[in-house]
Amino acid sequence: MNENNKKKLKLKVSAIKDGTVIDHIPAKNLFKVITILGLDKIDNQITFGTNLDSKKLGAKAIIKVSDLFFEDNEINKIALIAPHAKLNIIRDYEVVEKKIVATPEKIVGIVKCFNPKCITNNEKITTCFKVISKEPIALKCKYCEKITSDDEIVML
Ligand code: CTP
Ligand code: ZN
């Protein structure tokens, strides 16, 4: 199949004029990405597709948000649950920039400590973790030193 036909086949979710396309989201984390980025609380047009085929991820999801452009620190929040996400910045139907998500070395706030006895779960203290593994994610709490791993991650 030639490149053009491949492109057409790939366009299962229609193109947007201006905005951000977040591609290569693991399908199981689509709704987490939506809440972390606050996409459930805005009026912009949003389209998404999920359980699309991906060689890398098995099943991927894609989100297209019109007229919205993210700051790097906002986008890096999804690194925990979509480490291979790719952002495409669209202006007048053209992809003008591509960005990848970077997993920060340190996560401040965002995630809840897995340990119910941790001081951050009992007092008004902002959580803080050192990223000890990026894939799968493992976070070491600065306060109680317990490890919160990938499937235990709960966003604040
Ligand atoms: N896209 C879109 N609206 C546009 C232009 C592009 O929704 N006006 C989407 C495409 O559907 C695709 C993504 O933005 O999901 C990136 O577009 P493009 O770079 O053309 O696709 P690829 O070459 O497949 O990108 P990559 O291989 O980097 O994922
Ligand atoms: Zn803790």
- Which secondary structure element, helix H or strand E, spans residue 9, and what is its range? helix 3-10
Q: Mapping DSSP to helix (H, G, I), strand (E, B) and coil, where does residue 95 land?
A: strand
Give the Å distance between the CA of 151 and the centre of ligand 1: 30
Residue among 85, 83, 92 at smallest CA distance from 21: 85
Residue 145 CB burial class (10 angstroms; 0-12, 13-18, ≥19) = exposed
Note if the bond before 136 is cis, omega within 30 degrees.
yes
- Which secondary structure element, helix H or strand E, spans residue 32, and what is its range? helix 30-36
Angle 101-112-139 from CA coordinates, rounded to 5° = 55
Whether the CB-CB separation of 137 and 153 falls below 8 Å is answered with yes
The model carries a pTM of 0.81
Query: What domains are defined for the chain?
Result: 3-100 (3.30.70.140), 106-152 (2.30.30.20)
For position 3, what pLDDT does the model report?
A: 67
For position 83, what pLDDT does the model report?
A: 87
Give the Å distance between the CA of 51 and the centre of ligand 2: 34
Cα distance between residue 99 and residue 118, in whole Å: 35
Closest ligand to the CA of 95: 1
Give the Å distance between the CA of 88 and the centre of ligand 1: 7
pLDDT by 10-residue block (mean), the chain, 156 residues? 60 87 95 93 96 87 97 87 93 97 88 96 97 91 96 86
| Residue 16 CB–ligand 1 contact under 6 Å | yes
Whether the CB-CB separation of 131 and 139 falls below 8 Å is answered with yes
Cα distance between residue 41 and residue 79, in whole Å: 20
For position 65, what pLDDT does the model report?
A: 98
Closest ligand to the CA of 96: 1
